[in-house]
Amino acid sequence: MSEDRLFAETSTDPGSFEFNEEVADVFPDMLRRSIPGYAASIEAIGALAARYVQPSTNCYDLGCSLGASTLAMRHNIEVPDCQIIAVDLAPAMISRCRELIAADASDIPVTVVEEDVRRAQIRQASMVVMNYTLQFLSVSERNAMIRRIYDGLVEGGIFVLSEKVVDEDEDVEALLAHMHYEFKRRNAYSELEISRKRTAIENVLVPESISVHRQRLMTAGFRHVGVWLRHFNFVSLVATK
């Protein structure tokens, strides 16, 4: 695993964050050091797959990046005649994902698709995962995306949504942001790296509050919605049809 040093060089302009070859090279390290609770979310996705995936259905990993959620589902599906569709628009991520899936020993079929998640056809799904993906879509497109996921799920299907969020209480939000930055510092990111990455990503990643996410999911038709994991300002919600 390569170390994430993308924002350590003062001689380069951080620009806007892109899921390119450089990011793909260091992505596992970036996630580990940037997102508190990320490993727990992947582990729990596997547990949810064991519980909710139904026979003869599809599972989707929308915004799959290197396929961590795909592999978590693949290693825990316990019913027959299922396949996983992993979707991402970034060629660098798709290339690495295909390599990792090919090296994995499971016999559950996985199709890795280079496509915009907004155009992905979601059919006969018993599980759909968006792990830190919706936040990169424009706010105006999010309602339609969630509705398409709901429509593509079978009865009893589950949707897992992980996102960075903002708290509606400004003081609490300031505290959570401080704790997140402290988390990065403890993981050996410098003040420069933290600042430069924040600048690069601030116009690309647009977070919302938990209440906005919950209302969007309920409006789409999901019967049960809840937060099952939270670490500072990073949450994962489950919604069932």
Amino acid at 226: G
Q: Pick from 148, 74, 73, 138: which is nearest to 107 by CA?
A: 74
Two structure tokens written together for 203:
């116009």
Q: What pLDDT, on a 0 to 100 scale, did the predictor assign at position 225?
A: 98
Q: List the domain boundaries for the chain.
A: 38-166+206-240
Q: What pLDDT, on a 0 to 100 scale, did the predictor assign at position 25?
A: 59
Two structure tokens written together for 2:
């390569």
Q: What is the pLDDT of residues 15-50, one digit of tens each?
A: 555 556 665 556 666 677 778 888 999 999 999 999
Q: What pLDDT, on a 0 to 100 scale, did the predictor assign at position 180?
A: 81
Q: Chain-centre distance of CA 195, in angstroms?
A: 23
Contact 137, 204 (CB under 8 A): no
Amino acid at 41: S
10 Å CB burial of residue 49 (0-12, 13-18, 19+) is buried
Q: What pLDDT, on a 0 to 100 scale, did the predictor assign at position 26?
A: 60
- Average pLDDT along the chain, 241 residues, taken 10 residues at a time: 51 53 62 83 96 98 96 97 97 93 95 97 98 95 98 98 95 91 75 54 82 98 95 95 97
Give me the CATH topology for the region 38-166+206-240.
Rossmann fold (3.40.50)
Two structure tokens written together for 65:
């990046």
CA gap 16, 152 in Å, rounded: 33
Q: What pLDDT, on a 0 to 100 scale, did the predictor assign at position 10?
A: 46
DSSP 47: H
CA gap 218, 216 in Å, rounded: 6
